[in-house]
Chain A
């Protein structure tokens, strides 16, 4: 027993030494704004692209801007990352929350401490200075629906897919796509399931798509909101031999959707450039920190592609940054 205690203590000492060394290394920086961008998941290609934007911002402006995120798309883990950052000496937090309502307490704590909070993909967030979207969610959802309707020949049944039912933006896009279908496409019908949860996982999206096709053999359209939805549905469409009969369209990126765009099982994917969004969040944070909050209103040019003429409604800001990726142009958007 004594020996065991000694061994554990020894291990503990090593860990402590490592941590002290790491902390000392991080100390030597000059006084500039410290801005942390917290994303949903650090290994997601989408957020790796966002990190490119954050790094470009840091290089362009000299501010100490960096990106952090939990290892998995897990709200509890993300809140922990936020808690740790809020306890440190930082000036601003740029957050892409997994579950905005669950983040309220920690963001409130940060704001009470004087930290500027900018969010992205969280129009329902209460505790923030500004929320910035690449575009307005209603317009984007309608836009995705138009793309899907085009593929479906404006008739048939469809379903929407969301990562989690708690994801504000995904839910808004889906809602807007559904109302667009009801207003503009009388021959397109939504099935009873309406929204299927895919946990932002291609395998789950694939399994759900197959299950839906079992229940609705004539299901013609899948509208995906997370980046794995349209490719997952595309994989099912391809394997079931339904290319040309069923169509998947939705938010995604080339790194995920390329094989499916290539074989035609996914018709088109839409998105915005996360690098620009990450950059724009940081620009806003600095403007607030510099006391230029009043300048943030409709018509302002943030100097970021897609955000040259922003639309501000109180704390909610939109750009016009959507892009469509198809088989033909996917090489230009390699993220």
Chain B
């Protein structure tokens, strides 16, 4: 890639921020590039990484979602309840299917409401999210469950590999559910890059009227992105339970803001039409690293919130600044850009 072109990409700046941050942690603690620390960060990426993929798709399609933590909470809690009531001992696949299935239904409801009422997705999902959370608390009387169904508990004790830091003797294991993250990332990248559906998602976020005229199925695309996020939320909910080793319904609350920040940090334009898998992964990585390295960095507890906030402002500020630069450039070199078709999802917001 030509360096000049690289400099125009938002990913480059997120990557640069990560590099600087890593250098500071390594300098401060000498603990960043240890095998157990890398495994820990990979583990911490599992839950936010998967959610960020689904949310990114929704934001690219011109939507937004603040209901997914509540959907995750409801799906995970009810799937655990169902398995417990059946005294289920079969495969954990069943649990994931139930949880993702419940999530899928809830996500599709979001999609239908967004399409039908044509109200801002933010308001719709704020409402549906509140309903899901309220239902879990009031009807299901949600509480922490520390004794999990055997297949779920067993999955939590399966690891891809264990690394041991020769110096400190600390070991860290990468849970087998890390594979889910890889699968979701590859799946999302494939859909966005190689399918008509993916083109439709970008087109819808760029300009829905133009997308409809171009023959994209708007209802289908909207149902897909919200349904996908719903199913993913259910799936991730149970993954979180597997990782924590206990079902903590309340642990998802407030999570939507972290994920939205990660997606936007990764260069996904909140107004839709623009975003990449790489950028989103980098954005998630940056946020995960920040929240998991404050102690290593030696930041006093009293300053941790401040530091996380500053990192978000710097990161999003950078991508906003990039977008702004892209815009001013667009007006001056519009003719040149027409010739230079490259990058399907251009930063000028006209979609693919």
B253 touches A71 (CB 8 A): yes
- Residues in chain A near residue B246, CB distance under 8 A: 202, 256, 259
Chain A's nearest CB lies how many Å from the CB of B29? 6
B251 touches A202 (CB 8 A): yes
Measured in the bound complex, the distance between the Cα atoms of B293 and A212 in whole Å is: 10
B275-303 vs A, CB cutoff 8 Å, 1 = contact: the mask equals 00000000000000000110110101110
Measured in the bound complex, the distance between the Cα atoms of B279 and A260 in whole Å is: 39
Cβ of B170 under 8 Å from chain A: yes
Chain B's nearest CB lies how many Å from the CB of A27? 20
- Quick one: which of B40, B117, B143, B244 contacts A202, CB cutoff 8 A? B244
Residue of A nearest to B44 (CB): A207
Measured in the bound complex, the distance between the Cα atoms of B43 and A206 in whole Å is: 12
- Residues in chain B near residue A207, CB distance under 8 A: 40, 44, 292
Measured in the bound complex, the distance between the Cα atoms of B244 and A72 in whole Å is: 18
- Quick one: which of A4, A202, A256, A257 contacts B118, CB cutoff 8 A? A4
- Residues in chain B near residue A264, CB distance under 8 A: none
Cβ of A203 under 8 Å from chain B: yes
B44 touches A239 (CB 8 A): no
Cβ of A99 under 8 Å from chain B: no
Cβ of B341 under 8 Å from chain A: no
B244 touches A211 (CB 8 A): no
Q: Using a Cβ–Cβ cut-off of 8 Å, how many residues does chain A contribute to the interface with B?
A: 43
Measured in the bound complex, the distance between the Cα atoms of B300 and A217 in whole Å is: 19
Cβ of A175 under 8 Å from chain B: no
A245-266 residues with Cβ-Cβ distance < 8 A to B are 255-259
Measured in the bound complex, the distance between the Cα atoms of B295 and A197 in whole Å is: 11
Q: Using a Cβ–Cβ cut-off of 8 Å, how many residues does chain B contribute to the interface with A?
A: 47
Measured in the bound complex, the distance between the Cα atoms of B147 and A309 in whole Å is: 37
A215 touches B172 (CB 8 A): no
B206-244 residues with Cβ-Cβ distance < 8 A to A are 240, 243-244
Measured in the bound complex, the distance between the Cα atoms of B118 and A145 in whole Å is: 58
Measured in the bound complex, the distance between the Cα atoms of B247 and A203 in whole Å is: 11
B249 touches A217 (CB 8 A): no
- Quick one: which of A203, A213, A217 contacts B243, CB cutoff 8 A? A203
B146 touches A197 (CB 8 A): no
- Residues in chain A near residue B293, CB distance under 8 A: 211
Chain A's nearest CB lies how many Å from the CB of B171? 6
Cβ of B248 under 8 Å from chain A: yes
Measured in the bound complex, the distance between the Cα atoms of B137 and A42 in whole Å is: 7
- Residues in chain B near residue A257, CB distance under 8 A: 146
Cβ of B37 under 8 Å from chain A: yes
- Quick one: which of B143, B146, B244, B295 contacts A193, CB cutoff 8 A? B295
A-B CB pair tally, cutoff 8 Å = 108
A201 touches B248 (CB 8 A): yes
- Quick one: which of A7, A201, A210, A258 contacts B40, CB cutoff 8 A? A210
Given A201-B248, A241-B171, does the pair A258, B295 have CB atoms closer than 8 Å?
no
B130-145 residues with Cβ-Cβ distance < 8 A to A are 133-134, 136-137, 141-144
- Residues in chain A near residue B147, CB distance under 8 A: 258-259
Chain B's nearest CB lies how many Å from the CB of A221? 16
Chain B's nearest CB lies how many Å from the CB of A55? 13
- Residues in chain A near residue B117, CB distance under 8 A: 4, 7-8
- Quick one: which of A195, A202, A259 contacts B301, CB cutoff 8 A? A195
Residue of B nearest to A218 (CB): B168
Measured in the bound complex, the distance between the Cα atoms of B253 and A71 in whole Å is: 8
Cβ of B346 under 8 Å from chain A: no
Given A165-B301, A212-B295, does the pair A44, B144 have CB atoms closer than 8 Å?
yes
- Residues in chain A near residue B44, CB distance under 8 A: 207
A217 touches B245 (CB 8 A): no
B172 touches A41 (CB 8 A): no
- Quick one: which of B146, B251, B253, B295 contacts A196, CB cutoff 8 A? B295
Cβ of A170 under 8 Å from chain B: no
A179-213 residues with Cβ-Cβ distance < 8 A to B are 192-197, 201-203, 206-208, 210-213
A227-253 vs B, CB cutoff 8 Å, 1 = contact: the mask equals 010000001000111000000000000
- Quick one: which of B36, B243, B295 contacts A215, CB cutoff 8 A? B295
Cβ of A225 under 8 Å from chain B: no
Given A8-B119, A208-B295, A214-B170, does the pair A43, B34 have CB atoms closer than 8 Å?
no
- Quick one: which of A7, A192, A228, A255 contacts B116, CB cutoff 8 A? A7
Measured in the bound complex, the distance between the Cα atoms of B29 and A214 in whole Å is: 9
Chain A's nearest CB lies how many Å from the CB of B164? 9
- Quick one: which of A72, A195, A239 contacts B250, CB cutoff 8 A? A72
A197 touches B171 (CB 8 A): no
Among B36, B240, B253, chain A packs the most CB atoms within 10 A around the CB of B253
Measured in the bound complex, the distance between the Cα atoms of B136 and A323 in whole Å is: 31
Cβ of A308 under 8 Å from chain B: no
B170 touches A72 (CB 8 A): no
Q: A43-B142, A201-B251 provided; 7 other pairs, C-beta below 8 A?
A: A7-B117, A8-B117, A43-B137, A71-B133, A195-B301, A203-B243, A210-B40
Chain A residues close to B by CB (< 8 Å)? 4, 7-8, 41-45, 48, 71-74, 165, 192-197, 201-203, 206-208, 210-215, 217, 228, 235, 239-241, 255-259
Residue pairs across A and B with Cβ atoms less than 8 A apart, 24 shown, are A7-B117, A42-B137, A43-B137, A43-B141, A43-B144, A43-B250, A44-B144, A45-B143, A71-B250, A71-B253, A74-B253, A165-B302, A196-B301, A202-B246, A203-B244, A211-B40, A211-B295, A211-B296, A212-B295, A214-B168, A215-B29, A228-B248, A241-B171, A258-B146
List of 4 A-B pairs having minimum Cβ-Cβ separation, nearest first: A72-B253, A217-B168, A43-B142, A211-B295
